[in-house]
Amino acid sequence: MEKRKFFNKKDIVIIALIILSGTALMCFMPKEEGSRALVIYNGREIDSLPLDRDCIYRPEVNENIEIEVKDGRVRFLSSDCPDKICVNTGWLGKAGQSAVCLPNRLSVTVSGGKDGIEGEI
């Protein structure tokens, strides 16, 4: 009885080409990064921070909160709220991502980028 091979040489070449082309596409696709961070207090936009400039921002409505912009991303660096969920959310960098500090009624939302999200609330 003759043993059948699961893959022959042509199958292996085709699979390798598919994997290589998929990898090449992923490497050359543009990233979906946002272009700015919207700072929203009590449902109204109070500021817009460009993500291409590193800074630490303290909103006028509560200067005990620090929002950090670094390397095209944004996060709550510190807050005076008791639970620190906003701080523990971590870095946001893609359009549509957001972090909220409920006790202080403050949120940060990444907008712009490929998705076209332009600060609609």
Distance of alpha carbon 52 from alpha carbon 46, whole angstroms: 19
Q: What is the pLDDT along the chain (121 residues), one digit of tens a residue?
A: 566 677 788 888 888 888 888 887 766 655 545 589 999 999 999 999 999 999 999 999 999 999 999 999 999 999 999 999 999 999 999 989 999 999 999 999 999 754 444 444 4
Q: What is the CATH number of domain 36-111?
A: 2.60.320.10
What pLDDT was estimated at residue 120?
44
What pLDDT was estimated at residue 91?
96
What pLDDT was estimated at residue 27?
66
The domain locations on the chain are: 36-111
Quote the pTM value: 0.66
